[in-house]
Chains A and B, each alone.
Chain A
Amino acid sequence: MTIDPLVEPLTDQLAGLAATAPTGFADSVFAHWLEVDGPVGPLYVAFTDRGINYVCPTAWVDDDRDQFLEYYRARFGRPLRPGTRAPAGLAGALRSGRGTGLDYDLRSVGGFDQAVLAKTLEIPRGEVRPYAWVAREIGHPRAVRAAGSALGRNPVPILIPCHRVVRSDGATGNYGFGPQLKIDLLHVEEVNLDETRQLGRRGIHYLASDTTGVFCFPSCAHARRITTSHRVELANVSAAVQAGCRACRHCRPA
């Protein structure tokens, strides 16, 4: 660095205020991506220095990497480069179906949508909840359709398990990557899908135990433990209350 002898001390001092960007600054600009094995086929996963911010089944883009990269860059307006190491815990989360321990970067997601996604993250593997449940749990019981739309925009599907949110009548409902993938995912997770749908067709949406007096959603782990002889089928919450039952604290059907 050459110093002009005529430069006065003040400008020298000002030059001394120049700073260098923190080490690893580029990582806060660029996102990284890689391909990993998912529960029903490979996935493209993109992540920033704050966490995972996009997931897409490779089949959804015909295994075309460039289509995925282009879509990501357009949607997030962020440059993307190949990653070398997967975010900590990703493989384990995909194996166990528990995405709760991962870091997500949901800066592109609005407040209502974030609440919907955070609630959905609580639904355990092997169980499903109605759209109306998500809406009620986040304090907007009338925003059922809005909750559905928010789930449709979920940037990190499978990890935040929007496939575990279904229609109140027992049908699995729609999915961003097509309804069949949703059914496949729920089958892999051993949800009692056929039973739930059959019950739904008969107008049964809750199950209770006559020994404990607790009622659940049919997919709740506690409902599935009830032996046939003690199982009570219920059409709605008021029927459950009339029968003297209280809501399960695990699946919170009411």
Chain B
Amino acid sequence: MTVDQTDPTNEPWEYAPSTQSTDVVDIASRYGLWIHGEEVDPASGSYFATTNPATEDRIAEVASGDRVDIDRAVKSARSATKGWASLPAAERSKYLFRIARLVQERSRELAVLESLDGGKPIKESRDIDVNLVAAHFFYYAGWADKLEYAFAGLDPKPLGVAGQIIPWNFPLLMLAWKVAPALATGNTVVLKPAETTPLTALVFAQITAEAGLPPGVLNIVTGAGDTGAALAAHDGIDKIAFTGSTAVGKNIQKVAAANNTRVTLELGGKGAHIVFDDAAIDQAIEGVINGIFFNQGHVCCAGSRLLVQESIRDVFLDRLRTRISTLRVGDPLDKNTDVGAVNSKAQLARIEELVAAGKDEGNDWFQSDCALPSDGYFFAPTVFTDVAQSSRIAQEEIFGPVLSVMTFRTAAEAVEKANNTPYGLSAGIWTNKGSRILWMADRMRSGVVWANTFNKFDPASPFGGYQESGFGREGGRHGLLPYLESGVA
């Protein structure tokens, strides 16, 4: 720790644990698939365990859906399209409002379950994820009966059945990003949650039943990569929406091309934080910390590269080192925890591999000296400094709490370096000069630019990538169009 221990005012505070009770959640020992408005057994009869990454304890068994189950779910979704699309739009809207309200009512339960199954700190799942889920359904509920005003000159129609595959980093929030606009636009859905985080989606299925959503409008098939592949390749879907890695996204785009299926992709990123010498340093430090350590760095739009102007490099890194030493890493259910558990053993191995590569390439590095729990999957916040642009840790998405720092002298050099990856999802700009913010924002090849802030999300704000970070937008008015037949070729 670099804090000056001789100055009593600099003593880091000790925190007593403040653990969120899990009593609010009633977890079944086993979950089936959700098809046509009811829980059903998988065709294969096989189940897999979902575990708590903070303890490695088994939480529940979840059905392993295969090709047969996907087919059954797609048929159910197809059978529901006519009734759902022909429902008066105001009624469709009211179903979504109901769902939003039920999510709010059960928000604590959902937050705890999200943290148990995925490892994210309870203060994030409670204050960010679940709130945004309800907000997303509320936002799109209001669009459902106003589509004729969303796009001038169009008379848009639903596509039919949407296949949706979501990742493990924001399990319920990614469900909301996919399901809310799809249902608002009159489509029916087959959703495949991530293998390591299926539980909140299955509780969400119960919420839709409580809301009275007609059978078949939303189907959920749990399983691993093969289950998702079977969904993407099914010839009964009209559209596939995928959020996940760029490698898998490319496969899905290829399969969609072969089947002539519409596709939208929200893929990886290697976002750059650019800090100019006139930036408000303390705020920039908080932004950089949030940008890479929020959700253990499991964020596609994470600011995983820091470009700091050469003249303030030393002071900025000093403060960064101090701030990192104060991050509390550990039990996701402790309300004090800043950085929770890495989502899975496989992801921890991926982070360890890339960090080892970063060290092998000779990059300088430092790490928080925080104590890590003995059980579970944890990784200490890590910073590489003076990283070469060609280094793997400057080019590849790590998807963990690992920051790669580089420097620049001029704004033009910062643009060049920031844009120097195949990705294009997010960028952060820190400067007090307004004209420079706008000049930089124009030149970022990325779908989201946060200026003097970072990692802000809102249902009204379109989100999505340039280049190999994918295409299509989720959120806002723009997020409706990928689920509509516009009639324009």
A binds B: no
Write the residues of chain A forming the contact surface with B, with a CB cutoff of 8 angstroms. none
